């Protein structure tokens, strides 16, 4: 028995060391760094200068950071509502017994197979392009004037819409997995009792998908707080107020960017801590709101 325990320990040791080195240590170092003035992310601890909550006051006193937080909140709320509702609708339709179920499932999920860089490029070059883009072609067919979809006023919504398009299929599959896990006997009994499809959805499907909805909201929150690539694709040269998000602000603070004359890894670490706390808060709130679900995903 003792020999088996020793073998289990030695087998688990590489995974534990990897977890500590690649996850636990960086997290702890980032939290500690957020309370110090640190110019470079590679600076030794001897070069750190204790700053207390100064980094947090600095970022929350920054107009760029507050703009980035507002943009992230809009993406989380507006994008989340559209993405999760569309994903739910498509999941219900696909699992309703329609013909070509596999085709529709694959077609809706396909944007997730394509590289995000390629997907963003497609939207920028072929959908939103001012001279020959698809949207302006449609607008002109109906007698309208061309619209600058990538102008300052609409760029944020163009970026958000593209992100939603690329995200719906992923969450649809999560909902499909949850719906297919619901016993069919419940639907058969409801049909016998005279309940229509709408009544079945609100009385059976939705209540039994609480765990899946909770998971989807948590995943969406993580995707929103780590929103980086789409911003870089829509603002590839300089960081713009219309597309900036906290992760971009963090990147500019640590590695330098537009309007930043001095790098500040300590402030960047503070941004990372704030985003982590936001995700934890969202998770705890959804845990309380969707407590007592029958189906856990």
Q: Element (H or E) spanning 9, and its range?
A: helix 2-19
Torsion 172-83-182-96 (CA) sign: negative
**Neighbour tally for 56: CB within 10 Å:** 18
40-50 burial by CB neighbour count: b if 16+ within 10 A, else e?
A: ebeeeeeebee
> Which residue ranges of the chain lie beneath pLDDT 70?
1-3, 257-261, 292-297
Reported as a single tens digit per residue, the pLDDT across 68-82 is: 999 999 999 999 999
Q: Within the chain, how many helices (H) and strands (E) appear?
A: 16, 2
pLDDT given for residue 272 in this prediction: 93
The pLDDT score that the predictor gives to residue 35 is 94
Residue labelled with tokens 């990897």:
18
What pLDDT does residue 296 have?
45
Q: What percent of the residues of the chain are helix, what percent strand, and what percent coil, each to the nearest 5?
A: 70, 0, 30
Q: CA 59, CA 49: separation in Å to the nearest integer?
A: 17
Q: Are 275 and 225 in contact (CB under 8 A)?
A: yes
Task: Give the pLDDT score at 264.
Answer: 87
Q: How high is the pLDDT of residue 222? A: 92
Pick the CATH number of 54-289 from 3.40.50.10420, 1.20.140.10, 2.60.40.10, 1.10.3720.10: 1.10.3720.10
pLDDT of residue 23: 87
Q: What is the model's pLDDT at position 276?
A: 92
Locate the domains of the chain by residue range. 54-289
Say if residues 106 and 283 touch (Cβ distance below 8 Å).
Answer: no
Q: For 149-165, give one letter per residue: b (16+ CB within 10 A) or e.
A: bbeeeebbebbbbbbbb
Map residue 290 onto helix, strand or coil. coil
């Amino acid at each position: 028995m003792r020999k088996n325990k020793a073998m289990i320990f030695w087998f688990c040791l590489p995974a534990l060391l990897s977890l500590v080195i690649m996850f636990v240590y960086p997290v702890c170092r980032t939290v500690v760094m957020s309370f110090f003035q640190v110019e470079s992310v590679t600076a030794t601890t001897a070069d750190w200068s204790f700053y207390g909550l100064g980094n947090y006051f600095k970022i929350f006193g920054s107009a760029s950071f507050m703009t980035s937080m507002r943009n992230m909140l809009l993406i989380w709320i507006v994008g989340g509502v559209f993405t999760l509702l569309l994903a739910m609708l498509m999941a219900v339709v696909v699992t309703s017994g329609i013909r070509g179920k596999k085709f529709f499932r694959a077609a809706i999920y396909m944007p997730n197979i394509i590289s995000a860089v390629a997907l963003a490029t497609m939207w920028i070059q072929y959908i939103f392009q001012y001279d020959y883009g698809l949207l302006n072609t449609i607008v002109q067919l109906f007698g309208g004037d061309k619209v600058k979809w990538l102008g300052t006023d609409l760029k944020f919504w163009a970026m958000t819409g593209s992100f939603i398009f690329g995200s719906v299929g992923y969450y649809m599959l999560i909902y499909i997995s949850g719906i297919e896990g619901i016993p069919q006997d419940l639907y058969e009994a409801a049909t016998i009792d005279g309940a229509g499809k709408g009544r079945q959805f609100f009385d059976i499907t939705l209540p039994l998908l609480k765990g899946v909805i909770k998971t989807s909201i948590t995943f969406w929150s993580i995707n929103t707080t780590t929103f980086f690539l789409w911003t870089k694709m829509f603002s590839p040269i300089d960081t713009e107020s219309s597309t900036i998000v906290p992760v971009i602000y963090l990147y500019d603070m640590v590695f330098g960017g537009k309007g930043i004359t001095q790098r500040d890894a300590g402030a960047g670490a503070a941004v990372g801590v704030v985003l982590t706390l936001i995700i934890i808060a969202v998770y705890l709130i959804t845990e309380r709101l969707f407590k007592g679900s029958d189906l856990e995903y």
